[in-house]
Structure 1
Amino acid sequence: MQKLKKELQSFGKTLLFPISILSFMAIFLGLSAALQNPNIVKFLPFLQGDTAQLILGFIRRLSGVPFAQLPLLFAMAIPLGVVKRDKEVAVYSSVVGYIAMLVGMNYLLAMQGYTPKTTDINYLVNLMGMSQIEATLHNALFTNVLGIFVYNMNVIGGMIAGLLGAAIHNKFRQVELHPALSFYSGKRFVPIATVLMMPLVGMALVY
């Protein structure tokens, strides 16, 4: 029971990594959005120049990055917090595994006929006969992550990749292969094992 409690506490602490950057960047996102509000700009003349608005626009765009890549942040943060040794290998493997998971999911979705084109709202309304509401809800099930068309799992996908990446790391980081393949033994085998397993996880998540 004590071991489980410690593991849960360790897992909880890992969530502070992405949460900390989110809360910090949210401040800048809120301020830049407020300072670009037409009503506020009207009363603050120094904000009306192109240079000021370009700077605020850049800050706003930069501040939104963690929110757009939140699953990836969780995929990195979880192994960073729960793995005891060779953390960098676990983080690297989890990121590789997350991408491989997305590729596996994308491949199976394509086999089932789900693509950006066939899930587009206009396509669903005009060619599939769905209502606007039905088409919008169906379209919301899918998204592009790192340029890969997948189901919209949001943070859950990153957490799955992080947890499995850490588990695979702990399982295979000391594996010894045949002498002819010794170069791939130990830590080098961890990302290899991850990239072989995670596409299957992605396919399973489709269901």
Structure 2
Amino acid sequence: MTATTAPAAREKRGIPGLAQLQRIGRSLMLPIASLPAAALLLRLGQPDMLGKDGLAGAWGDWLLPVADALGAAGNALFANLPLLFALGVAVGYARKSDGSTGLAALIGYLVFKGVSDALSPYVLGVAAAGEKQQLINYGVLGGIVMGLIAALLYQKYSRIKLPAYLAFFGGRRFVPIVTAGMAVIVAVVGALVYKGFDSGLTSVASWVTGSTIIGAFVYGTLNRLLVPIGLHHLLNSLPWFQFGAYTDASGKVWSGDILRFLHGDPTAGTFMTGFFPIMMFALPAAALAFVHTAKPGKRKVIAGIMGSAALVSFVTGVTEPLEFSFIFLAYPLYAIHAVLTGTSLALVNWLGIHAGFGFSAGAIDYLLNFRIATHPLWILPIGLAYGVVYYFLFRFVIVRWNLRTPGREDDDDDTINPNNVLVDQPDDDDAAASTVRATPKLDSKPA
């Protein structure tokens, strides 16, 4: 007599490395959170705001030192953006991090930068007499790498025990030491591959900026498609902080769409402008479609939830409360949203519209940067047109395929809470999971 046993169910495994990439993406939010303050200070200090062409010209020269001080404060943050990313990523990525993690990242990045500068003449050639020496410049990418290294070394060596005569340097005190040593190695390797890296990055940037319509469409679509797994921050780091170069009036070179725009580059905004019609008009219109397609008994509750989420999207450009309300429940609808976002970025580039932000594409940034934008008024009719498209298209798709958007869930369905529209990123232990568990607690931290 033989006994048969059912084969053991295979354990479902997430995509290899996805959880780590998600942790990196979330850790980028800490330094990115400092950008609105820097952008606001820099913008207020510019000539057309508090400077000689703005309030100082009308109210008197006493405002000039105020404008200079505010502008210098904003520039101080932007000029040290790689260092901010090193500190923020280290603290955000390491589990149970403390002050020694940030100190290790600071030391690591300073050593990395110092060694890179010292090796620059050997890699890029010695500058001619009277010319400025070209330096190896990895930008924020160098800061991100050193932040990750500091975080990983902290997790590995924060509890190390050394011999008695070296006990003082054990534990957390050992982390900055080993990070400094690793920074030297990383800087040397970085110097050896810098020419290839710079050539590759320049080629990609040239292709994207040379075919702005296609490049903007691809970027805009991918940006939204990566939101569910939290990798859009990694994608943003290249066009926003690395691509392109602009030399301001003082001779300082700024890289990335955000920094170039805020410092007066009229060609910047390729990877920002198209988000304004979507975040200020299209997604609020989608929220209205959700309300009108909700079941009558739930419509009042959904109207309150969606109304507040739409207002947040319009004013601040924070779209996670709206997007996460249907991102998993009706993913085909979200895919449509991603493609339409790409078309918005392509359209504004085709029309030669250039606007930008320091935080997100909401009304606050739109008004704050209105005077340094190119054709910003065109954003309003384009946004209204996208709002109409979103409302009728979303309403048609929801009704046609009976999608379970907020307010359309089964009455006996306990797996989805219609009030749970503010969904946080998944925990590290289940970051690669492809479903979202409903919880009765609202968490407003954006993805």
Give the TM-score normalised by the residue count of structure 2: 0.37
Residue identity matched to 2:49 = L
Task: Report what 2:81 is aligned to.
Answer: 70
- Say if 2:156 is the partner of 1:161: no
| SS in structure 2 at match of 1:64 | helix
Query: What is the distance in 2 between the residues matched to 1:95 and 1:55?
Result: 30
1:91 maps to which of 79, 86, 102: 102
Task: Report what 1:23 is aligned to.
Answer: 36
Task: Report what 2:113 is aligned to.
Answer: 102
Report the Cα offset of residue 91 of structure 1.
1.1
More off after superposition, 152-161 vs 79-88: 79-88
Query: What is the distance in 1 between the residues matched to 2:191 and 2:159?
Result: 32
1:196 maps to which of 165, 178, 181: 181
For the Cα contact (< 8 Å) 1:104–1:201, is it kept in 2? no
- Say if 2:54 is the partner of 1:80: no
Query: What is the distance in 1 between the residues matched to 2:41 and 2:114?
Result: 33
- Say if 2:156 is the partner of 1:171: yes
Query: What is the distance in 2 between the residues matched to 1:177 and 1:193?
Result: 13
Report the Cα offset of residue 159 of structure 1.
0.6
| SS in structure 2 at match of 1:24 | helix
Report the Cα offset of residue 103 of structure 1.
2.4
Query: What is the distance in 2 between the residues matched to 1:88 and 1:192?
Result: 14
For the Cα contact (< 8 Å) 2:91–2:97, is it kept in 1? no
Report the Cα offset of residue 24 of structure 1.
2.5
Query: What is the distance in 2 between the residues matched to 1:195 and 1:121?
Result: 33
For the Cα contact (< 8 Å) 2:123–2:191, is it kept in 1? no
Q: What are the Cα deviations for residues 179-204 of structure 1, in whole angstroms up to 9, with x where unaligned?
A: 22111111111111111221111011
Aligned CA distance change for structure 1 residues 37 and 188 (closer, same or farther; 3 Å): closer
Residue identity matched to 1:73 = L
Provide the identity percentage. 24
Query: What is the distance in 2 between the residues matched to 1:29 and 1:22?
Result: 10
Report the Cα offset of residue 153 of structure 1.
1.1
Task: Report what 2:369 is aligned to.
Answer: none
Task: Report what 1:151 is aligned to.
Answer: 136
Task: Report what 1:119 is aligned to.
Answer: 127
For the Cα contact (< 8 Å) 1:103–1:199, is it kept in 2? no
Q: Which runs of 4+ in 1 moved over 6 A?
A: none
Query: What is the distance in 2 between the residues matched to 1:95 and 1:18?
Result: 14
For the Cα contact (< 8 Å) 2:41–2:73, is it kept in 1? no
Aligned CA distance change for structure 1 residues 121 and 72 (closer, same or farther; 3 Å): farther
Aligned CA distance change for structure 1 residues 123 and 2 (closer, same or farther; 3 Å): closer
For the Cα contact (< 8 Å) 2:87–2:102, is it kept in 1? yes
Query: What is the distance in 2 between the residues matched to 1:16 and 1:79?
Result: 12
Residue identity matched to 1:35 = M
Aligned length: 178
Higher Rg of the two aligned structures: 2
| SS in structure 1 at match of 2:34 | helix
For the Cα contact (< 8 Å) 2:90–2:102, is it kept in 1? yes
Report the Cα offset of residue 8 of structure 1.
3.0
The Cα RMSD (Å) is 2.6
Query: What is the distance in 1 between the residues matched to 2:131 and 2:91?
Result: 42
Task: Report what 1:35 is aligned to.
Answer: 49
Query: What is the distance in 2 between the residues matched to 1:203 and 1:96?
Result: 16
Residue identity matched to 1:78 = V
Aligned CA distance change for structure 1 residues 94 and 120 (closer, same or farther; 3 Å): farther
Aligned CA distance change for structure 1 residues 199 and 13 (closer, same or farther; 3 Å): same
- Say if 2:166 is the partner of 1:181: yes
Report the Cα offset of residue 36 of structure 1.
4.9
Aligned CA distance change for structure 1 residues 180 and 39 (closer, same or farther; 3 Å): closer
Report the Cα offset of residue 53 of structure 1.
0.8
Q: Which runs of 5+ in 1 are unaligned?
A: 125-138, 143-149
